[in-house]
Structure 1
């Protein structure tokens, strides 16, 4: 399958500056996020769908084709998770998510859990005003990182972790939520290489590269 990137807005704290819709094959939002997109004058014609249970929107707007509103009433899943399912069905492979953090902490943790459930089917990156963050593949290269703050957070644990390019390197080590975690490290080289064999890690890259995509990442 060819890489097919999606842009998704959900109902957390909205970004101060909305990202450009250019370059995305699919653009969507949940019903709660539609309000801030309209207030911030996002070009609504770019939206491919607006999904949700419509507890915060009536499912109609004069500026959007009615067929783009998708009602997903299943109360056993969050609006975010249901939007991810639609993106998978549409052939999406990568998703940039805005509005995933801030506001109520239970929503933030729920969003991480949803991303965890979909990490084998979608490459999901969250963006907020402080950082970008994502579940790391077992082999990862981050480029243009020198001087950037990078945190490695186990979810809930990860083993046999080795890094190259960080100030405090890991050499075949483990991190866990009940033991040592790897927050607030920083890059001393342009490229940071990460490898681990078991478990799951969330990588946080601090603000300077969060909104503009200047720092690249790739899996090996």
Structure 2
């Protein structure tokens, strides 16, 4: 896997590599090519280094006898960020780091799969960053992001779209979906909009009045 750093502009999305299921080398390569900043959580560092990826920031609480100094020489220059706060996940700490640097957006990989508790937490925690940073979580089968109150995007027919509420979301309406919503309410654990699809080639529009709604672009 070649190094990144083709782009150097804080307006491009940073890339955060967590420690869930690895994605394909194709997806990883595409994201590295356009990422000006690569942040790796300490739990994933050894896996990332084995792929020959140049890391800009190594971040975590460095527990379990993890020694970040081992990577200073091979990854020079690298910033090491110690984040001992046990009230937040390492992914949240990485997002906080980007917010502090005023970087407007981030792609996140290796954040799903493996442990179910980590997957659920990583996906739903997007909601707390609504006003702070744009976040997209990707794996080989899904692209997940938090919807603004009004959303419009072109999709080809039969694209799989799932609408997953974080808690309760009210006043949801859509256009150009196979199963339309009209001023509907979705509640996590009771009623979600999983496995909907695009009716025909064209613009899909989705609006909601209250709550936090995740859109998942999915493929089998």
Which TM class, normalised by the smaller chain length?
0.7 to 0.9
2:83 pairs, out of 65, 68, 72, with 72
Q: TM-score, normalised by structure 1?
A: 0.85
Q: Count matched residues.
A: 204
Residues 76-108 of structure 1: per-residue CA shift (max 9 Å, x gap)? 211111111111111111111001111111111
Partner of 1:88: 99
SS of 1:191's equivalent in the other structure is strand
Is residue 53 from structure 1 mapped to residue 61 from structure 2 by the alignment?
A: yes
Superposed displacement of residue 178, structure 1:
4.7
Please give the residue correspondences for 1:1-220 in structure 2 after superposition, counting only pairs within 5 Å.
Answer: 3-17=11-25, 18-20=28-30, 21-42=32-53, 44=54, 47-55=55-63, 57-59=66-68, 60-61=70-71, 62-65=73-76, 67-189=78-200, 190-207=202-219
Let me know the Cα RMSD of the aligned residues: 1.9
In 2 relative to 1, CA 71–186 (structure 1 residues): closer, same or farther, beyond 3 Å?
same
CA contact 1:146–1:191 (8 Å) conserved in 2: no
d(CA) in 2 for partners of 1:113, 1:164: 25
Structure 1 unpaired stretches of 5+: 209-220
Residues 167-203 of structure 1: per-residue CA shift (max 9 Å, x gap)? 1111111111253211111012332111111111111
d(CA) in 2 for partners of 1:7, 1:178: 31
Superposed displacement of residue 119, structure 1:
2.2
Structure 2 unpaired stretches of 5+: 1-9
d(CA) in 2 for partners of 1:145, 1:158: 26
SS of 1:102's equivalent in the other structure is coil
Q: TM-score, normalised by structure 2?
A: 0.85
